[in-house]
């Protein structure tokens, strides 16, 4: 299914947000408000969510509009990859999440792996930097534009432990990958990460 509507809405919202950031002319500000409303109505039309709710979410964003950053830890042990089971949808994913303000990507991924799995790791290589919105990744629609950073991480210690976000922690062989949380990771990405594992000299993927 084409997601051009999502791209259009995100671009309109970004233009409006940038306009509110730099513009002082009241007439132009009114035009940016109308643009933000149109973006909200586009998203509402295709997602069955009230335009007012979406517009309120948009209004919480300020400053120059840029993609958000999501990090994922890629941890292997004996030819198996570490996955955690999300409580939110009951599906599996690589441990990870948003990078906090003031936090480096490598520190963020090490923190996320520990919080979601109980394992201590060291980020050693950026395996891939993907544009979540690119059609080839086949993620479900999301109102944010997101860059996903996949870090190869060396296992240092720790033990599996569930938390508020995850209910199970396990290593899986490539032929045993369970149902994935497609909002967070898709099968083609897992397959590519196994290629990085077996061919450690592969360069970093991007886009």
Contact 127, 196 (CB under 8 A): yes
**Angstrom distance (rounded) from CA 185 to CA 93:** 6
**Angstrom distance (rounded) from CA 167 to CA 173:** 20
**Angstrom distance (rounded) from CA 154 to CA 184:** 21
Please name the residues in contact with 165: beta carbons below 8 A apart, sequence gap of 6 or more: 86, 87, 88, 115, 116
- The mean of the pLDDT values for the chain is 94
Write the pLDDT tens digit of every residue in 166-190: 999 999 999 999 999 999 999 999 9
Write the pLDDT tens digit of every residue in 17-26: 999 999 999 9
The model's confidence at residue 141, banded by pLDDT at 50, 70 and 90, is confident
Any idea which of 46-50, 85-89, 198-202 has the lowest mean pLDDT? 46-50
Considering only CA atoms, which of 72, 82, 74 is closest in space to residue 172?
82
Question: For residue 9, how far is the Cα from the chain centroid?
Answer: 18
pTM of the model: 0.80
State the number of CA atoms in the 13 A half-sphere of 137 facing the CB. Answer: 24
Considering only CA atoms, which of 153, 138, 156, 147 is closest in space to residue 193?
153
């Amino acid at each position: 299914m084409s997601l051009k509507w999502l791209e259009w809405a995100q671009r309109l919202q970004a233009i409006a947000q940038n306009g509110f950031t730099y513009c002082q002319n009241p007439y132009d500000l009114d035009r940016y408000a109308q643009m933000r409303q149109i973006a909200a109505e586009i998203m509402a039309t295709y997602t069955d969510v009230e335009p007012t709710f979406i517009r309120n979410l948009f209004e919480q964003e300020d400053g120059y509009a840029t993609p958000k950053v999501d990090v994922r830890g890629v941890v292997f042990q004996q030819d198996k990859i570490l996955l955690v089971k999300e409580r939110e949808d009951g599906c599996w994913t690589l441990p990870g999440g948003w990078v906090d303000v003031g936090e480096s990507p490598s520190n963020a991924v090490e923190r996320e792996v520990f919080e979601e799995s109980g394992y201590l790791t060291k980020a050693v290589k950026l395996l891939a930097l993907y544009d979540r919105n690119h059609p080839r990744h086949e993620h479900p629609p999301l109102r944010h534009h997101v860059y996903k950073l996949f870090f190869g991480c060396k296992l240092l210690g720790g033990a599996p432990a569930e938390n508020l976000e995850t209910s199970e922690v396990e290593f899986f062989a490539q032929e045993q990958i369970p149902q994935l949380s497609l909002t967070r990771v898709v099968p083609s990405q897992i397959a590519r990460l196994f290629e990085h594992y077996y061919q450690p000299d592969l360069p970093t993927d991007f886009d």
